[in-house]
Structure 1
Amino acid sequence: MKQASCSVLIGVCAALAAIAEASSDRTGPAADRPMFAGWPPEGAEYALKQTWAGVTRNACVMRAGPRAEFHFAPDGDGTLLFSSSALRSAAEDPLPAGVSIVDGEGTVYCQQDQTLAVNKWTDVTAVLKNVAGRRLTVTVEAAGLDEANRIILSEPEWIPARRSAAKPSVILISLDTLRADRLCGYGYRRATSPHLDRFAREHGVVFRHAFANAPWTVPSHVSMLTAWLPSFHGVNQDFHEYRAWAANQNPRFRVLPDQIKTLPELLRQAGYLTGAFANLHPEIGFARGFASFVRREAVTEQLSLVSEWISLRKDAPFFLFLHTYEVHAPYRRAEFLTEYLDGSVVDELTPTLVGEKDYRAFLKFLRRNGLYRPELCSAMYDGGVAYADRCLGRLFAFLEKEGLLADTMIVVTSDHGEEFADHDPKKFYGNHGHTTYQEQLHVPLVIHYPRDRWAGTKVTANVSLLDIVPTVLAEVGIKPESALQGLTLHGLSDGTLSASAERSIISECTADGDEWKAVIQGRYKYVAVLEKAHDSRVTPLHNLLEEMLFDLQSDPGEKTNLAESLPAVTDRLRAELEQVLEQAGTTFVDNPTTELSPETLQRLKALGYVR
């Protein structure tokens, strides 16, 4: 059976044309469409996505005064979750506040003492019983708040005491910068991933040849969460534009247009509770569809918050997105280096590894002390992989303890890989986003289907991150409103679709002023290097500077260019790429723009994206 390849990409153009017509600028993140009945409340002045202390939530700014309230009518027992804050600093900050929940007859179902602070969310959890059919009034009051100030309320979440639907929960885990060939399950010599390997062996389907659609974080994650290629979704496929934005030299930055829907948006509209713990930029659009989007750097802190978040919502279908930079440079997991490096080198590195979180500062340390060597950087990277794997083991154990592992769909993958002098002897520390070679595109993909369906299966067909959204939607029974560029992986997982089916995988990159485009089909990979077109949003193929063809089966390291010796294959794959670029050029979305926050600037400097 033959899968659709380029026709899948071309068939979505009508939808993209409509998207392009409707796209418009906005000055900041807008609140998601409300899902809580009766929201926004009558006293709301406007809605927005409010970020405080790294936590972004859908919120309403209430009318001026020390009191705010909303109403709802639950159809049974359950738990109400929401957060509150103040818009401006008060004379006393935080202020004592009270939360009450009463019905129309004056029966009190909840009375809590709280605090109300500016620049910080105060969470409210209320377990409500015997409330079916009651119209409840929820009141937040801070007597010391002046009349000119305003209370901010996040959109509430309601978790029924009894799960009313058989929809599975979904967890998507992205281990940033993890190349597939650094995992034991993908053939690596070092024991970097015992927990993920065991999970995949006992509970998952392993996709041996999964590819990122871009070799760096922003466009790849957008593709992962939307099932659209970078040329089509338009979110910063230009790496230099990203650096300029990050350095505040280009204060405006293209973001995801509202009309392209994300996976969390689609799941939220279907009744899922949504949350993200990710070190990504809400300004770009990554917070869309998430009731709560939490930015934290340390995965240990993330796991603690994730466990708490899941525990409160486990009785309802939820979607959780977990993203971590633990594998990304700077590689600083000293506790794992003793397995990979000489002890004296570890002793020399450890103080700096523990204390230095900034990419550039750590790079200077390595060079100053004669430690900037491929084998050392590679070992430090492996230490990060091993640490991330241990954290995965903790999460899997928690899910099993909570009784959630069996019925939860879990996807583990990465957005791109990393180069360790694979093709450039000078690039072996924090290097990605500059080519479309395998070390930057080949990523792990492990999917646990509920009830361990097809566990232990290994799929050898080529797949991409575009396939995650269609696969999740198919599993939970949601039909997308418009066509997507990815395909569901159910047929490959259950064996009904042949692993030898031909299919084209497209990956894209802009680096050093040139654009790299790759088409992978079967054993062959075509690469085109294009001179960037500054007068066009999509660079056409006639700007070709160089083309390469590799046989990934006999030459996985991509050392021998077969473009001239296999002209028929080269011509066929070049024609496929040309068709995709032409369609992207005629239907390209006019993306809105956003501005960089100071918090984001500091994070980007620490990761090495800003000099």
Structure 2
Amino acid sequence: MSRVKNILFIMCDQLRADYLACTGHPTLKTPNIDALAARGVIFTNAFCQAPVCGSSRMSFYTGRYVQSHGATYNNVPLKIGERTVGDHMRELGVSTGLIGKTHMQADLAGMKRLGIDKGSIQGVLAAECGFEPWERDDGLHPDAFVDPNLAYNDYLREQGYEGDNPWHSFANSGIDEKGEVASGWYLRNAHLAARIDKAHSETAYMTNRAMDKIAELGDTPWCLHLSYIKPHWPYIAPAPYHNMYSPQDVIAANRGEKEKADPHPVIKAFMGHEESVNFSDEEKRRHVIPAYMGLITEIDDHIGRLMAFLEEQGRLDDTLIVFTSDHGDYLGDHWLGEKEMFHEESVRIPMIIVDPSRDCDATRGGRIHALTEAIDLIPTFVDALGGEAKPHVLEGKSLLPLLRGENPAGWRDFAVSEADYAWRGARLALKLPPDQTRAYMIRTERWKYISYDQFRPQLFDLEKDPNELIDLGTSELHAEIRNEMEETLNHWLRHRRNRTTMAHDVIEERTDTAKKRGIYFGVW
């Protein structure tokens, strides 16, 4: 029997894989996350299925590629028929809930068509990505659209932060040099301290809510998705995190002049976005990134609190812990801001897993370099809890064999990520219709190949060019490799898990058994 009883699934928003001390950042302080890694394993080659919040998370939560679940961008509803982590966990008797962000958009039209009442238990689960909404808070609350029922705003008012939207006016705003309230939505205000005590920040609040819920659940098996809103913008942190780092702590941008002089057409269009223009300015970049780093250290401090609480509760010995992110952040690398494209800064994610089982002691404190994907988590959870594999539905692979030091046969040769930039200004700059804006990444140990609708592909030799500064998409010497990678992509597309209503073993049982079941056709 597995020792794992509970799952703590921690996700940060827009945290780069290389922005932790344990993954190589030279100036960031993350001692508690580092300690987590020392108790578990760092997966050094973990990739999200889409470098944007909504579709990445839908892959995390379904265990399926974007091509399969269809939620290709933020606020594209996840189809009502898709099974999610909550469905798989509840089958195993595990109470599964959310504290924080999902960026999930409910398929209300599908619910209405099937007569599912939004207020029913099934309706709530369908609208919340299969999670019990112990407390959902997606952040991103501009004044015009603030949720009047947002619990965090109620909490802030109880602490004395008055207003219609204290999330914005206090937690994500500061006081500028003129003594005026300055919104954290503007990058120029990133150096200011948020108008809130650090004990009342979003990160502190969500950590408190997680500890309260774990204590409330007691001995009930649980899967808790603690989904932090930070270090996603607004890039503004409470004291002392706001000035914990200086411009001198910011690492040099990974970008080359040739990239800027002769970019791929799609990359060029993304370079024209406002966030890319601003992050390409070195002075502005070094003004903002210290706040991003401060937000990460704030998260680290609360991870330390949470781990101490789990130890007090006796839960460290029976809880599988995952620490990850939905995608990265360019921060000016490759002359880009935000995410969405497929450079390592955007598509590679931190992945730390702590399995308390003794059979994982062999890899504890180590690093695993096998290609892993976000969709591997649900199969890992099911496996750790003693459930049966569902390869006809779940497209990922259990990571437990790797955690146990095994070398499983048939491990993947490449990772896949997808993009759909139909909603972005880049599409307008390129004069494309909304159905011609897809892109796919195939990433092997050595090569990264990116196939675009309407445009030439990109190719990077990660062995000779690990910083992805030389695009071989037009190199005649690499034409054969591009052709092979395109065929790999086509083969992958043909083998998505679309037959999800019947398991493979049922098909095996029924193959060539028509006559035994009394069905005669073609018999003389």
Tell me the amino acid that sits aligned with residue 525 of structure 1: K
8 Å contact kept, 2:14–2:326: yes
Tell me the amino acid that sits aligned with residue 197 of structure 1: D
Cα distance in 2, alignment partners of residues 314 and 496 from structure 1 = 34
Partner of 1:191: 28
Q: 1:398 to 1:168 in 2, by over 3 A?
A: same
Partner of 2:333: 422
What is the CA-CA distance between 1:172 and the residue it aligns to? 0.5
What is the CA-CA distance between 1:282 and the residue it aligns to? 5.4
Cα distance in 2, alignment partners of residues 518 and 476 from structure 1 = 32
Which of the numbers 25, 39, 42 marks the counterpart of 1:206?
A: 42
Q: Report the number of matched residues.
A: 371
Where does structure 2 lack aligned partners over 5 or more consecutive residues?
107-125, 140-201, 249-273, 428-436, 502-524
Q: 1:180 to 1:499 in 2, by over 3 A?
A: farther
What is the CA-CA distance between 1:583 and the residue it aligns to? 5.0
Is 1:373 matched with 2:284? Answer: yes
Is 1:432 matched with 2:339? Answer: yes
Which of the numbers 451, 469, 473 marks the counterpart of 1:528?
A: 451
Which of the numbers 330, 354, 371 marks the counterpart of 1:448?
A: 354
8 Å contact kept, 2:78–2:105: yes
Is 1:232 matched with 2:68? Answer: yes
Partner of 1:303: 207
Partner of 2:130: 289
Partner of 1:176: 13
Tell me the amino acid that sits aligned with residue 576 of structure 1: T
8 Å contact kept, 2:4–2:320: no
Partner of 1:15: none
Cα distance in 1, alignment partners of residues 467 and 451 from structure 2 = 17
Cα distance in 2, alignment partners of residues 317 and 383 from structure 1 = 34
Alignment of 1:506-517 (within 5 A): 506-511=416-421, 512-513=426-427, 514-517=437-440
Structure 1 residue ranges (4+ consecutive) displaced by more than 4 angstroms after TM superposition: 164-167, 498-502, 582-589
What is the CA-CA distance between 1:238 and the residue it aligns to? 4.0
Cα distance in 2, alignment partners of residues 217 and 380 from structure 1 = 20
Partner of 2:323: 412
Partner of 1:495: 405
Is 1:398 matched with 2:309? Answer: yes
What is the CA-CA distance between 1:317 and the residue it aligns to? 1.0
Task: Describe the SS at the equivalent of 2:58.
Answer: helix
What is the CA-CA distance between 1:291 and the residue it aligns to? 3.1
What is the CA-CA distance between 1:167 and the residue it aligns to? 5.3
Higher strand share: 1
Is 1:555 matched with 2:465? Answer: yes
Task: Describe the SS at the equivalent of 2:302.
Answer: helix
Q: 1:501 to 1:373 in 2, by over 3 A?
A: same
Q: 1:286 to 1:504 in 2, by over 3 A?
A: farther
Cα distance in 1, alignment partners of residues 70 and 407 from structure 2 = 32
Cα distance in 2, alignment partners of residues 394 and 274 from structure 1 = 22
Partner of 2:80: 257
Cα distance in 1, alignment partners of residues 478 and 408 from structure 2 = 26
What is the CA-CA distance between 1:377 and the residue it aligns to? 1.7
What is the CA-CA distance between 1:577 and the residue it aligns to? 1.0
Which of the numbers 293, 296, 299 marks the counterpart of 1:385?
A: 296
Cα distance in 2, alignment partners of residues 559 and 371 from structure 1 = 18
Which of the numbers 90, 98, 116 marks the counterpart of 1:276?
A: 98
Which of the numbers 223, 236, 242 marks the counterpart of 1:319?
A: 223
Cα distance in 2, alignment partners of residues 207 and 492 from structure 1 = 10
Q: Deviations over 1:276-304 (max 9, x none)?
A: 10223454356243333412351222111
Q: 1:567 to 1:411 in 2, by over 3 A?
A: same
8 Å contact kept, 1:460–1:499: no
8 Å contact kept, 2:100–2:226: yes
TM-score after normalising by structure 1: 0.56
Q: Deviations over 1:229-279 (max 9, x none)?
A: 1111001x146xx4xxxxxxxxxx532332x21111111121111221022
Cα distance in 2, alignment partners of residues 265 and 191 from structure 1 = 38
Cα distance in 2, alignment partners of residues 401 and 328 from structure 1 = 31
TM-score after normalising by structure 2: 0.65
8 Å contact kept, 1:419–1:440: yes
8 Å contact kept, 2:415–2:443: yes
Cα distance in 2, alignment partners of residues 191 and 503 from structure 1 = 32
8 Å contact kept, 2:19–2:25: yes
Cα distance in 2, alignment partners of residues 165 and 489 from structure 1 = 14
Tell me the amino acid that sits aligned with residue 366 of structure 2: T
8 Å contact kept, 2:4–2:319: no
Cα distance in 2, alignment partners of residues 328 and 573 from structure 1 = 33
Q: Deviations over 1:186-218 (max 9, x none)?
A: 1111133211011111x1111011111100111
Q: 1:232 to 1:180 in 2, by over 3 A?
A: same
Cα distance in 2, alignment partners of residues 238 and 165 from structure 1 = 37
Of structures 1 and 2, the larger Rg is shown by 1
**What's the Cα RMSD here?**
3.0
Of all paired residues, the percent bearing the same amino acid is: 26
8 Å contact kept, 1:502–1:521: no
Higher helix share: 2
What is the CA-CA distance between 1:586 and the residue it aligns to? 8.2
8 Å contact kept, 2:3–2:357: no
What is the CA-CA distance between 1:395 and the residue it aligns to? 0.9
8 Å contact kept, 1:268–1:289: no
What is the CA-CA distance between 1:403 and the residue it aligns to? 0.9
8 Å contact kept, 1:436–1:516: no
Cα distance in 2, alignment partners of residues 505 and 165 from structure 1 = 29
Task: Describe the SS at the equivalent of 1:374.
Answer: helix
Cα distance in 2, alignment partners of residues 581 and 233 from structure 1 = 13
